[in-house]
Structure formats: C-alpha cells, structure tokens
Structure 1
C-alpha cells in the first residue's frame, strides 16, 4: 500500500439529519445521538448538512447548539450553510453564541450562490429586495469581517441604562480562524485561501474546462493546491475532504447488499460531467476498511490532506450509521494512520 504524504490527523463525519415530517423531533434526536456516538468513538469532528424546505436540518446552528450541551470534546461543523438564505450580521451573532456555548468547538462552513429554486422562494425570503440581493463572495466577506470583530455599527457606548457595542456580541476571538468555505472550483478555492479561510472539498467538483479530461481526484487536487497557494499559511492551510465512505467490516449481509446497491445506482453520474455546471461526482467507496484505505491512499487529493469528514449516505437507517461510524473509527481510521481522540 503506497503511503500518504500527510498522516491523517483529524477524522470527522457528516450527516444530513433526515426526519419524518410527521414526527420531526425523533429525527433531530437521532442526529444528536449520532453526534454523541461520534464523540464516544473518538472522532475529531461531526458536521451537519443544511437543507431548506426539505426534510433535513434547516437550522444547523440550532442543532449544534443542542449538540454542544451534550458533548464535551468533539468539534461541531456545518457543511455547509448557503449564505444566500442568511443575513451575515444575524448569522455572525448566532455562530458566536454557539461557539461560546461549545467552548470554542464550532467550525462553520459556508457557501455562496442564489438559494435553490430562487424564483419559487424569493417572495417569501426577500419580498422587498429579491432583485437587489447579492449572492457572491461579498456576502462571505461581510460574514468574515463581522465574526472577526470589525465594526457593525458607528455607535457604541451608554444610552440610558443600556450599553451598546459597535461589533457583534458575543465576540469569540478564535472563531474567525475556524470559518470554512465549501467550494468546488479553482476560483472558489483560491478566494478562500486569499481570505484566510479553511477549505472544505466534497464529493462534487466542477470540470471547468471544455476539454478537461482529468478524473475527479486530479481536479480536486488542483483545488487543494490552488487554495494553499493563495493562503497565507501555505502548505499548513487546513483542508478537509468529504467523500462518501462506507466500510463494511461488521456489516450484515443485508447491509452490505444495501450499501452496494446504493453506490451502484449513483455510479453512472461519476463517469462524465453532469448538467450545465459540468459537475463531476466522486464514486462512493464501499468495502472493507482495508480495501477503502488502499483506494484512498491511491487518491491524488487524499494524499495531500490530513483532515477528512466522510459523508454518511442520506437515506440509511440509524443502525446502519452506527455500524458505519463504528467501523470507521475502529477499523478504517487506524488503517489510515489515525488515532482516536482522548475523551475528556
């Protein structure tokens, strides 16, 4: 097995937090239980996806606030909050509050772009300003400035019995260094680096050139390198890779069959760029931990990262997630050179 150029330092996982619309509490409770399990297993981080007007987590900051009170050590991240749905000032307040409650464990990941199905939702989301809203990098820059302590107001001081600050309160000094950008293009990777963010790269990238015949791993590698080339920390800049990884070491025959069927149905989309955006998807990795470790060691982008947040499949059952996370922490992680975090 070829060695990685960077030892795996941090092992995390990502969940979408699905729930039944008729019983939403149970799905949210299950998500919190999975995060608690991750901490017991020694994972370094737990991340939640963000879904609006769907049966997944619509308020990851609220879910992670709850998780912060049921865990002590594990880092808590969002992958990712689409900023087109957010007011950067209000989001900065929420993020700082949860970071304080968690003891400095929050890792907010964000992305840009118009909200999904914007024409259908804009009258509810921005009834007076829909055509004037800006959904590009400027929205991220505003969030960065506010989280990092730049002025949000030209007034501070005492007014009557109330004391006012000119910057977001609470202010959590370390949070500004734990902001992540979720990107799938060279330009987004470079922008994140230039602005001192961390970089989340997932199982989706853009095949940007019309004649781009590189495979997924090569494209993702180019993003990692573009990010670090632009970042003040250079090769030390943080990158986390988020592939769909399903170890089967302790899976039942029925679970293995389900996992293999899931991956097989999604495999055709990995063979060529999809849609006008030319999105290229990574194949899901299903197999024993030894088999998956070998495939990851051969993955060009994996060899240049030392953090991962493996994505749990969307539609599996709770017992499936328990098996996958347990095998990941006890079998796959050690096969990649990772050691579980110490409790406490």
Structure 2
C-alpha cells in the first residue's frame, strides 16, 4: 500500500436546502456557512445544484453573492448539469462571477439528459427537445467559450456598438479551474483527455458486472485513469467528496442524529444499485482521530491531496457549524492539512 499524500486543500460541499414557503433563510444560511468556512481557513466551499427541488437551483447566482461576503476562499459548483444549460450563456455567467471573485471560481459540470427528462423536456426545450445534444460535446462547447476561443465571426465596430468574437468578460485563468464530476471510467478518461480537473464523490459506477463491490478500489481506478490521460499526469487535480462527519464537539443528541443518519443510508452501500450499478460509499461518522485512520486506509484517498467533504442534506445550521469547526480544527490537521498552506 502506497503512503498517503498529506492533505493539501480542505473543502466542503453543501446542498443549500430551503423552505419552499420561505426560501430566503435557507439561502442566507448557505451564505453564512460559506463565510464560516472562510473564517475557519477552508480552502474551498462548493454548492450542489438542484432543479425543481428545494436546494440551490442557481449556484452561480449564490456564489456571486458569496463572492461579496468573502475574500479568500475558492467557490465551486458540484456540479452544474449541463443538460439544463446553454453553454455560451453559462460561459458568460461563469466568467462574470469569476471576475467578481477575483479568480476564485471553480465550476464543476456534468452531462447527460436532465433528470426526469420525459416530464420536464416540454418546459425546458419545447421546440428543440429532440435535437438537444447531451453528450460530452456540450462540455466541449462550454470549455471553448470559457477558454476564450471564437464564438462568432462578428467582431469590431458597428455604428456606436462594439462587438467581440469571444465571450465577454474573458477571465484568463478560469479555463484551468474547470472541473468534471464523474462516476465512471469513461468520464475519468474524458476529463483527463480534455485537460479538466476531476471531481469524484461518494458515488461510483461498478461497471464490470462481476466485480467486487469495493468502493475505494473502484474510485482509485477512476483517479488513476484520469491522471493517465491528463497532460499533467500525477499532478492533475482530483478532489474527493465523501460524507465525513466528525463528532468531537458534538452534543449527545447530535451524535445520535448523525449515527442514525449514517445507519439509514448504509444498506445502499452493500451492493451496486439499479440498472446503472451505482455504488455508494458509507458515510463516515466518529471522532476525528478515528476518521483520519479510516481515511488513510481508503485506497483512493491515499492518492489525492484535495477534498470537498459533503455536508449531509438534512441537518440543521448548528449541526453544520459544529461539523465544519471540527473538520477545520481537528480532522484536517490530523490528515496533514495546514491552514493557509
């Protein structure tokens, strides 16, 4: 077993739940949590993306707001499903927010048809549903525009109007901070070949029908495949997003809640789920010293040096404060992370 890399970058991920009858407090809670993350020294804060649900539907707008309440922490999306997006328009939004953050935006994306496609396509693409391309080409289009390649043949002055042939504003460093969220070998290889960074989470595809349900081994194969096909090789950036819940400063009620949450989700980790054979990682709950030992034995964790630990969907604001505080002050240092490293 190879020696684990010291943790270089510490991040967290939140879904940003809110009450449909009163959505503002939930969004304010998310912004407050991101501010707390910066105060605690986290390197990155990431938001999930949900459509027609009670979670963040417009992460780019939320991160624009977060950019004005923070000054250092990197801000990411994990992930924007491009099936809902026009790549050119999204490139404009991403570049605009990247300028507002001072170059701190880390957009993560994925492809494929929107969830519940048959029921949503008439609302989303009433005239073009049958013509929409949900393949990797949709990501390539976004990458071209973000990286400053030509978007139109029109450029120059027309009367009093000045036109550009590429997306404006153009943010030169943004193209290097684009991430692909993948759960398969194919996605890992594609992300590497296209020079993206790679987000791997608590879900992977067990693609070989008779392969063991060993989450860490499968995830490790994705990490290695990505780096084998990336121009930067072993230096290519990979971030891991497991659900990790330290209990060092938790109350008795919080510990009971966390353990019950993990137990309720444990059955789905025993074997691949559904036709796509999705395999879930067990949630990790316990004291930081114990969690550090378990992570250092995790085959994929041993080969990455960036994480975005996922906050559970349904917990309360005070729970998130406790969890983030313990991650930053206890678990991170136990994994070799140094604030401001």
TM-score (norm 1): 0.98
Q: Return the alpha-carbon distance in structure 1 between the equivalents of residues 74 and 126 of structure 2.
A: 36
**8 Å contact 1:114–1:135 — kept in the other structure?**
yes
Contact kept, 8 Å, 1:3 with 1:297, in 2: the verdict is: no
Q: Which residue of 1 aligns with 2:207?
A: 208
Matched, 1:190 2:189: yes
- In the TM superposition, residue 341 of structure 1 has moved relative to its aligned partner by 2.3
Cα-to-partner distance string for 1:3-40 (whole Å, 9 max, x where unaligned):
84311000000000000011101100000000000000
How many residue pairs get aligned? The number is 341
Q: Does 1:288 align with 2:249?
A: no
1:223-242 → structure 2 map (5 Å cutoff): 223-242=222-241
Alignment of 1:279-318 (within 5 A): 279-318=278-317
Say whether residues 1:82 and 2:99 are aligned partners: no
State the distance in 2 between where 1:174 and 1:249 align. 39
Query: Aligned equivalents of 2:251 and 2:291: distance in 1?
Result: 18
Deviation track 1:236-270 (CA, whole Å, cap 9, x = no partner) reads: 00000000000000000000000000000000000
Provide the secondary structure at the position in 1 that maps to 2:173.
Answer: helix
Alignment of 1:1-344 (within 5 A): 4-341=3-340
CA-to-aligned-CA distance 1:147-206 (integer Å, 9 cap, x gap): 001111011000110100000000000000000000000010000000000000000000
Q: Secondary structure at the match of 2:187?
A: helix
Return the alpha-carbon distance in structure 1 between the equivalents of residues 2 and 109 of structure 2: 32
User: How far off is 1:214 after superposition?
Assistant: 4.6
Give the unaligned 5+ runs of structure 2. Answer: none
SS of the aligned residue for 1:286 comes to strand
Is the CA contact 2:151–2:167 (under 8 Å) kept in the aligned structure 1?
A: yes
For 1:44 and 1:112, the matched residues in 2 are separated by 26
Distance 2:3 2:252 in 1: 31
3-state SS, counterpart of residue 173 of structure 1: coil
Contact 1:158 1:164 in 2 (8 A): yes
Does the 8 Å contact 2:95/2:146 carry over to 1? yes
Q: For the residues of structure 2 that align with 1:194 and 1:29, how far apart are their CA atoms?
A: 39
Equivalent-residue separation in structure 1 for 2:319 and 2:258 (angstroms) = 9
Q: Is the 8 A contact 2:76 2:105 kept in 1?
A: yes
What is the rounded CA distance, in whole Å, between the counterparts of 1:86 and 1:63 in structure 2?
A: 17
Give the C-alpha shift of residue 213 in structure 1.
1.0
CA contact (8 A) 2:213 2:272 kept: no
Q: State how far apart, in whole Å, the 2-side matches of 1:87 and 1:200 are.
A: 22
Instruction: Check conservation: 2:213, 2:270, Cα contact below 8 A.
Output: no
Q: In structure 1, what is the Cα distance between the partners aligned to 2:310 and 2:4?
A: 23
TM-score calculated relative to the size of structure 2: 0.99
CA RMSD across the alignment: 0.9
Residue 136 of structure 1: CA displacement?
A: 1.1
